Amino acid sequence: MDRRKWRVLVLCTGNAARSQMAEGLIRAAFGDRVEVFSAGTRPAGYVHPFAIQAMREIGIDISGHRSKSLAEFLGQPFDLVLTVCDDAAEECPVWPGQGERMHIGYPDPGRRAWDEEGMLEEFREVRDRMRAELLPILRRWIERREEKDV
């Protein structure tokens, strides 16, 4: 039996780093079960080069991604809306549409670093935390939904 893909929207403020990396990780891990998109409340207009580099290091290419406004997705149905901003550092976007909400916050990479190598290391740390935390949580979320769907 073919199952429909779950629709997931990952939100952040600028849609330049964290939400882009999360989108890439989710697509690579669950692309057969999930349609994933990302957006921001104030799109930066670019995907951060260090986000691209950090993801490339683990074999995921997000170089073709673009920074998008959440306005592009208004009115579209989503099963899950995931925010990845760190509440302590900035205001996370609020999704006005339908869909279950989940927040898994990560610090904005590169904010503390004084040099490029330090900044790249922060991007790697966020990427690795997402792999260790976000992907298992999302796997459990998908499995619960698929059990209900049977």
- Show which residues are catalytic: 12, 85, 92
Edge-to-edge strand list for the sheet holding 80-83: 34-40, 6-12, 80-83, 100-103
Buried b (16+ CB within 10 A) or exposed e, 15-46: bbbbbbbbbbbbbbbbeebbbbbbbbbebeee
CA max distance for the chain = 53
Tokens 């997402």, residue located: 130
Q: Which residues contact 101 (CB under 8 A, 6 or more apart)?
A: 80, 81, 82, 83, 95
